[in-house]
Amino acid sequence: MRWAKYAGRDVIPLWVADMDFSAPPEVVDALQRRIASGLFGYGQPWPSLVEAVLEHCASEYAWTVEPDWLVWLPGLVSGLHVACRAVGDREHGGDGVFTATPVYPPFLSAPVESGRRLLTLPLVATESGWGWDFAAADALMRAARLFLLCHPHNPVGRAWREDELWQLAALAEKHDLVVCSDEIHCDLTFAGRHRPFATLSPEIAARTITLMAPSKTFNLAGLGCAFAIIPDSRLRAAFRAALHGIVPHVNALGLVACEAAYRHGAAWRRQLIDTLRAHAARVEQVVDGLPGLSMTSVEATFLAWIDCRGLGVEHPAALFERHGVGVSDGAAFGPGPAYAQYVRLNFGTTRALLDAALERIRTACGSP
């Protein structure tokens, strides 16, 4: 999808969030073995796969997950929609769904398409990075039933600190919110360990739907395999009821890739993170040197959120595209035109392509 958009044009495609790196060889081997069986009937998660997921949660996040907390999904976007349908009701204009912008666009569309009322709060940009206006969140959450949290946050690249998570948790408890925490980027944090929102306390776990997948980390998005972790049985039953008959089973190859990635992908992932950290530093260095552009430092993901307001150009994404770099248009990441002068750049590509793209951006900005 990413490359097809600009087929036949000299545009380096750094938009949708997948990478130019082959999946770990152990994943490719496992898939080839599975394909060699020639049998592709209905699949379902098997015990060693479930064990691989639970072991990953235990070793990476010190989180003891029970097997029956898992609900398998073909993708996280499905999970966001199902969460919106499972929590609250459509009566009286629909219950409110709270989220903070700029944010991955399905956070904005899923509530609306599910008949809910979208409540958005802008994150605040400071010298040290993007953060929360907790007082404003408190006020807005009054009308909400569900909180869609992006952790780490796409597109601003923040891996929320524990103190920030605790403040959000306190607000979720105060307003009796269900929290759907999209943690798809959690294995791509550059420093320290990821802290799942649900691990803050058993009470928080009981109101949380955590969405995870191996897809971003191991470049498996096209295989469609993800899962929700829902410790509370009532919430889990509501989630299952909302997806029943609509959301398909995960395909057999996605499940195979998931097990192989979690079991054998650790060394590959460490190397990937070193590469991404270096790429992030390169993007930051170039952006810092370009008058009119700015960004805060990336703590996780392979995405850079670049503020282009200083360029004085109405539509920076179109400008960069004309100069041969296809970035995501910031306008899609918030309501109205709030982020039209921002772009999101995917640096999950080779160093050569990244350098070429940054050179083109430099030219687009009129810098020699």
Ligand X SMILES: Cc1ncc(COP(=O)(O)O)c(C=O)c1O
> Is 340 in contact with 314 (CB distance < 8 Å)?
yes
Kindly state the tokens that stand for 61: 């996040």
Q: How far apart are CA 21 and CA 204, in angstroms?
A: 36
Residue 228 or 358 having the CB closest to ligand X: 228
Is residue 117 a contact partner of residue 306, using CB atoms and an 8 Å limit? no
Structure tokens at 268: 């590959």
For 309, residues 6+ apart whose C-beta sits below 8 A from its C-beta are 292, 341, 342
Q: Does 154 bind ligand X (CB under 6 A)?
A: yes
Nearer to ligand X, 86 or 213 (CB): 213
CB 123 within 8 A of CB 156: yes
Instruction: Note whether 360 and 12 are within 8 A (CB).
Output: yes
Binding window for ligand X (CB under 6 A); candidates: 71-79, 274-282, 311-319, 344-352: 71-79
Residue in 182, 299, 307, 321 binding ligand X, rule: CB under 6 A: 182
The interface mask with ligand X, positions 196-235, x = CB under 6 A, is -----------------x-x-----x----x---------
How near is the Cβ of 3 to ligand X at its closest, in Å? Answer: 16
By beta-carbon proximity to ligand X, the closer residue of 184 and 247 is: 184
Of 193, 189, 258, residue with least CA distance to 24: 258
Stretch that binds ligand X, among 20-28, 73-81, 129-137, 254-262 (CB under 6 A): 73-81
Return the number of the residue (76 or 260) whose C-beta is nearest ligand X: 76
Separation between Cα atoms, residue 223 and residue 353, nearest integer Å? 25
132 in contact with ligand X (CB under 6 A): no
DSSP-derived letter for residue 84 is H
Q: Which of 52, 148, 150, 280 binds ligand X (CB under 6 A)?
A: 150
By rule CB under 6 A, what count of residues binds ligand X?
13
Residues forming contacts to ligand X in the complex (CB under 6 A) are: 17, 75-77, 104, 150, 154, 182, 184, 213, 215, 221, 226
